[in-house]
Structure 1
Amino acid sequence: MIGNTVKKMLLENESDFLIVADNVATLSEDNTLEHALLVLTNIGYSRIPVLNKQGQLMGQISLDQVVSQMFDIESLNPEKLDSMTVGEVMDRQACSIQMPFNIEKILNQLVDFNFVPVVDKQDVFLGIVTRKEILKSVNYLAHELESQYELVELFEQD
């Protein structure tokens, strides 16, 4: 459990955490894998959110998931990407969060992923919280904690 003081400091810039949906590259579950490959390689991200026609988060897809579909047992077959959709190969188990932010859940998810999708109660995609934004708060905490609080050692160190 994160202590109240640390949580308070980590959340001081909470308003900067969310990168709104309009500024996030996404794919539709109906897009072809060829389109997904183009989007992923052009934006330089390894993973992006996948939405349905109503704007709800359906999952995420990674560059690795797309590229792996091009391989047959003995050859490379990029033509397969034209006939397959993002919805067929995406990760439907991707975790998401809602606002107000649960900083502990965000930190746990960012251990394994570069971002965490943010949705409303109807799973409509609102944006993402990135590892970079959270690390800015961790950096702030590391530099400012002792200037704002008097810390006392509970146990003597040898």
Structure 2
Amino acid sequence: MISLQSSKVLGATIKDLIIPAERVAHVQVKNNLEHALLVLTKTGYTAVPVLDPKYRLHGLVSTTHIMDSILGLERIEFDKLEHMIVEDVMNKELPCLNVTDTVEKGLELLVDHPFVCVQDENDVFEGILTRRTILDRLITHFQTNETKKDPEA
């Protein structure tokens, strides 16, 4: 049976597993909702981080947040998109990780979220940790250990 050796897999820091900030789609707190909806639609993501001009993390904005804000009683009020800003509708309460946190802590947060934002000690956005990255790492770990134990492999 293959076991997870916490010092190798779960005890490691997440710094090497994150998708760096430069490669993560995001919006700014003062962007209008039209821009945010365009970013979400073009990337195909359902949510993206919200940053300030100094790359500090402020929250997440999703297609659902935006659509909820423009739904009227009888119609969708698309004209609101250019007048409302991301800061008005974003989710400010989100789980975050620090670059020095362990993979185990990241894994615990990823149970309920497809990705978790990662920041440094100054709250500067460093990137995201995704379920996919963690699962890829676990699969590699299992395959490597299985090969070592199976002399016919």
**Aligned residue runs from structure 1 range 56-135, under 5 A:** 56-135=56-135
Kept in 2, the 8 Å contact 1:10–1:137? The answer is no
Q: Could you say which residue in structure 2 is the equivalent of 1:152?
A: none
Q: Could you say which residue in structure 2 is the equivalent of 1:140?
A: 140
The secondary structure found in structure 2 opposite 1:73 is: coil
1:12, distance to aligned residue in structure 2 (A): 6.9
Can you give the 5+ residue segments of structure 2 that lack an aligned partner in the other structure? none
- Superposition CA RMSD, Å: 2.4
1:43 is aligned to 2:70: no
AA in 2 matched with 1:120: D
AA in 2 matched with 1:31: N
Q: Deviation per CA, 1:2-47: give whole Å up to 9, x if none.
A: x971451356795641111111111001001111000000001111
32-41 or 16-25, larger mean C-alpha shift: 16-25
State the alpha-carbon separation in 1 of the partners of residues 148 and 98 from structure 2: 30
State the alpha-carbon separation in 2 of the partners of residues 34 and 64 from structure 1: 13
1:121, distance to aligned residue in structure 2 (A): 0.8
The secondary structure found in structure 2 opposite 1:22 is: helix
State the alpha-carbon separation in 2 of the partners of residues 64 and 129 from structure 1: 22
Kept in 2, the 8 Å contact 1:119–1:126? The answer is yes
Instruction: State how many pairs are aligned.
Output: 148
Kept in 1, the 8 Å contact 2:54–2:124? The answer is yes
Kept in 1, the 8 Å contact 2:47–2:61? The answer is yes
Q: Could you say which residue in structure 2 is the equivalent of 1:24?
A: 24
The secondary structure found in structure 1 opposite 2:127 is: strand
TM-score, length-scaled by structure 2 = 0.85
1:99, distance to aligned residue in structure 2 (A): 1.8
Give me the identity figure in percent.
Answer: 35
Kept in 2, the 8 Å contact 1:27–1:48? The answer is yes
Can you give the 5+ residue segments of structure 1 that lack an aligned partner in the other structure? 150-158
Q: Deviation per CA, 1:83-126: give whole Å up to 9, x if none.
A: 11100110101111112232222112212222111111110011
State the alpha-carbon separation in 1 of the partners of residues 53 and 15 from structure 2: 28
Task: Note closer, same or farther for the CA distance 1:14–1:98 as it changes in structure 2 (3 Å cut).
Answer: closer
